[in-house]
Chain A
């Protein structure tokens, strides 16, 4: 069993790495110019190029992958010369990057050729101080300075040749002088819980993602609690009545429900309960991220849609497994031992019959996530699925990557749990 577990864990780690690479390269390398989407189609190539460099997109892809996965403060630290730290902003609570200059959090900016050090005070305000003596000289004699700017980038300024950069403000693009030559957007990396900034909203992905994950967990959780016992029960009932009418009804009904796409089921449920019967809100209106807790009725239709699709699948799996077990020699033994039928089913069959479906159900979780995307889009449900969908449509790859990694982690974690459950249920592996 130890061997089995170690293998699973190693395989899981490798899988996650592969997935993260596939995701990153497919999206960042494969997708087109994101700056067009952010700056609009009327932006000039010069503006886009400037903005791209501010996003750090001109670095090589592998470099960005490592930054994205493991962060880059440990790499950039040596250039700036000071340890880099994050301190939450007093107002927004979002993390800001500062250089730790002998215990004093410091950032820099260039104003009319003058290098200013911004020193953070205890109350969150900053004091400015001209630090012209800090310029350094490279081999060619040019003077430069590596520091942290006010937008969480590690930047390199050249003395006397402040670059012209296009800065995106709420009012649109504005051209500014005194810009740095090189940008390295600082990040802690996914492994340390930093998924970068959402290109769509300009805020850290992690700030908005978690409430979405929670909402989806509620939706999926409620569906799961309804589906599992019901599906296993129906599957077992169908399995022990193999070939009879009841089995036919459950099997064909389950097949029909599973084979019908979620959006079709959802639409029909909206038509029936929302428009014709008017029992439930036809279009769920989620006024806030917490709406589902205020009005649980909003969950009804999404949960019903998910249930319809999952119920059939799991019931059919359970049925197939039950049929196989009921046909096995050890069930024959139990019957020939004169055990009452109930006891044969309950004590001898069910445990063996549930072993196979549990792993399959756990593997099925990523199918469920697919269903979630559709269900959340139909009902406008503010969950993870809708988040990925919106981000993918926009091309917000930081958000897609982060959200996709969350789904993949969930899928792999459930698979691991499925493996574990299987080993616990199956003594042949447990004592191997």
Chain B
């Protein structure tokens, strides 16, 4: 972190309020936001969805749409006031002095223009540069962001390069004119964690080299900790706290920030750090913000003054905080309120019966080529090898977490288990019955024992039916409950999901994301299944809600003695939650074992890289710096030998630079109680690796 001198800020936002005109009035999406960013500094803005952080960014580049406008306050860029400037003056600044990078790079690039043309025009329009000179600049800039084969990329279309590469193009494009201010709105959210890590490294490096002021918006506290020097926390359209990352992460003063810190999974050195405490309630929509402190209704320390009077932003030991009682609140003395108390986790005896067993389970998808032969069905058949030789067992009442990046086959694995897909070969047994075929061949009673919780809260419920109808349907279908008792049973279930009877007649559109997810869990439990498969049930939720859902699942598991298989892309989420963890890469399970064993050496080199990539919301934690090269190969033609050999940073440890990895499949190495690693490198060598995560002692 660079020391900063006193100089005039690049961007100074004061008392900003942005309003949107809607039918019958207007909504103030953002109120009373003030902050400033200096040269060479990365300023983080963090908050949950709907808190107005993107609106601030749009206000700065003056792109608020037809119905939005800056209602109050000022935005000063290098001393000149942006609010009230004419469209043409702002246009000249945009793309030249102020550049922006935002979330989904695939959407951000014009699908029918060559990348080179899209980049060059930034120079030709703003700088009046000649075409080939501009092309030279663009190639240099692409090389600067470590784009392989830069000259070639200029001639390509966006869909021809990977997501991580697209984001590099967008970043290179933003930097072409060496802007004084770079606004980044969730630039890595759509990327996989290892790709994200590389992009974050790049951003940090660029901010150093170009001396650009960066405004970095994200919902991820871990990312902020990695890239920025100072941070502003936004809640419900207001900035509730701002200060340096070091101070705020160490000692947050606002109850909301404290709550956030408690509910974000931290990949700390020990399991205890992974316990999550949710914040009760939910973010109020802009139309229903409370009169006093916006956080009041969710605050554990609320007093009468908070309900009546809006707190002002005030300085407290170098941290600006918007709370009446910040001095009196001591985060370390916080205890969860009754309703949020954590479930007591009893140790399930380890020798309980095996409920699910996979033996060499494979799932291949046939793909069609594009030659004439292929089209008429005579071509050679090719396959996507989505799951290769999956072997594991799950004991009753336990939780298996499956971790991996997108395309690693984890979703296919559970689809095959639940029977949405039939397996290609191998054997899967559940409660002693064969389940290697798809669901159409399964017995009704078996179907009832296997249920699933889905990822996306917005699509998990059928919008046409009420909550009660949807939870009741499995009961009726499997006849687990007599018809006249269904309602009572559904309400019982709703109550154990901490939703009341009054939810029975609601339609999905009347529920929040977290509530929908609870209903989804209730529906999965309605047929009293033995095994519930969870497909990233919390990844689409805000962090404060995430924790509540995770805890609920744990509670449910205790209550019904349900077995869980839990998919996640992020190692920190499964840590606290799972008894066992499996790490997948490109269809292959690379490492599996008890949760604690996975997070400590010996690691599989891929697990090690994953752990090193996860952004941790704690600046005091040190991570080893391991980055994977290239991108995930195609599953149609996976690398021979060990599938990870093309990107493995550790294979040089083997003789001949790991020749053996390219030709031969590794053997499973048993390194302890149920812990297995699929690698050529001897377990003894793996054991000698330093832990990825260490706590800095200061």
Contacts and interface: CB of A to CB of B under 8 A. Distances in A.
Interface stretch (A103-111, A218-226, A281-289, A420-428): A420-428
A336 interface: yes
Interface of A is mostly: helix
Given A6-B372, A7-B375, A329-B104, A338 B126 contact: yes
B476 interface: no
Interface stretch (A120-128, A340-348, A394-402): A340-348
Contacts of B370: 1-3, 432
A334 B109 CA distance: 9
B77 to A, nearest CB: 14
Interface string B362-380: 0000001111101110000
A351 B126 contact: no
Given A6-B372, A348-B113, A351-B112, A343 B125 contact: yes
A60 B173 CA distance: 71
Interface residues of B, number: 37
Contacts of A432: 370
A405 B372 CA distance: 28
A336 B111 contact: no
A337 B159 contact: no
Contacts of B21: none
Interface stretch (B91-99, B421-429, B597-605, B652-660): B91-99
A339 B108 contact: no
B121 A6 contact: no
B368 A340 contact: no
B157 A431 contact: yes
B157 A337 contact: no
A330 interface: yes
B476 to A, nearest CB: 42
Given A336-B100, A427-B159, A330 B110 contact: yes
Given A6-B375, A332-B63, A431-B160, A426 B112 contact: yes
B350 interface: no
A272 to B, nearest CB: 39
B10 interface: no
A150 interface: no
B61 interface: yes
Nearest to B97: A338
A348 B110 contact: yes
Given A338-B96, A338-B126, A330 B108 contact: yes
B107 interface: yes
A353 to B, nearest CB: 10
Contacts of A243: 66
Contacts of A265: none
Interface in B185-243: none
Nearest to A336: B100
B122 interface: yes
A187 B374 CA distance: 38
B173 A428 contact: no
Contact of B125 (A1, A339, A355, A427): A339
Contact of A425 (B100, B108, B109, B112): B112
A333 interface: yes
A359 interface: no
A182 interface: no
B121 A339 contact: yes
B160 A333 contact: no
Given A2-B372, A337-B173, A347 B121 contact: yes
Given A337-B121, A338-B94, A338-B95, A352 B110 contact: yes
A330 B157 contact: no
A188 B221 CA distance: 79
Given A6-B375, A330-B107, A330-B111, A336 B160 contact: no
A267 interface: no
Interface string A399-432: 0000000000000000000000000011110011
Contacts of A352: 110-112
A340 B160 CA distance: 27
A427 B93 contact: no
Interface string A349-363: 001100100000000
Contacts of B109: 330, 333
A1 to B, nearest CB: 8
A427 to B, nearest CB: 4
Contacts of B95: 336-339
B159 A428 contact: yes
Nearest to A1: B370
Nearest to B94: A338
Contact of A338 (B125, B159, B170, B374): B125
Contacts of A328: 107
Nearest to B121: A339
Interface in A256-285: none
A432 B66 CA distance: 37
Nearest to A331: B110
B112 A3 contact: no
B121 A3 contact: no
B126 to A, nearest CB: 6
A335 interface: yes
Contacts of B376: 6, 10
A330 B368 CA distance: 31
Contacts of A355: 112
A243 B375 CA distance: 46
Given A2-B371, A3-B374, A338-B93, A428 B121 contact: no
B111 A338 contact: no
Interface in A1-34: 1-3, 6-7, 10
A426 B96 CA distance: 30
B173 A336 contact: no
A325 B126 CA distance: 24
Contacts of B102: 329
Contacts of B125: 337-340, 343
Interface string A198-222: 0000000000000000000000000
Contacts of A428: 111-112, 157, 159
B21 to A, nearest CB: 13
A334 B63 contact: no
Interface string B600-636: 0000000000000000000000000000000000000
A290 B104 CA distance: 60
B122 A3 contact: no
Nearest to B95: A338
Contacts of A425: 112
Contacts of A339: 91, 95, 121, 125
B247 to A, nearest CB: 33
Contact of A3 (B66, B94, B160, B375): B375
Given A338-B91, A339-B125, A431-B160, A329 B107 contact: yes
Contacts of B100: 336
Contacts of B96: 338
Interface string A229-267: 000000000000001000000000000000000000000
B107 A427 contact: no
Given A2-B370, A426-B112, A431-B157, A338 B63 contact: no
Contacts of B93: 338
A109 to B, nearest CB: 51
Contacts of B121: 337, 339, 343, 347
18 contacts: A3-B371, A10-B376, A329-B104, A329-B107, A329-B108, A330-B110, A338-B94, A338-B96, A338-B126, A339-B91, A339-B125, A340-B125, A343-B125, A355-B112, A427-B111, A427-B112, A431-B159, A431-B160
Interface of A: 1-3, 6-7, 10, 243, 328-330, 332-340, 343, 347-348, 351-352, 355, 425-428, 431-432
Q: Which 3 A-B pairs give the minimum distances between C-beta atoms?
A: A338-B95, A329-B107, A338-B94
Given A6-B375, A339-B91, A352-B111, 19 more contacts: A2-B371, A3-B368, A3-B375, A6-B376, A7-B375, A10-B375, A243-B66, A329-B107, A333-B109, A335-B94, A336-B99, A337-B94, A337-B122, A338-B93, A338-B95, A338-B96, A348-B113, A426-B111, A427-B112
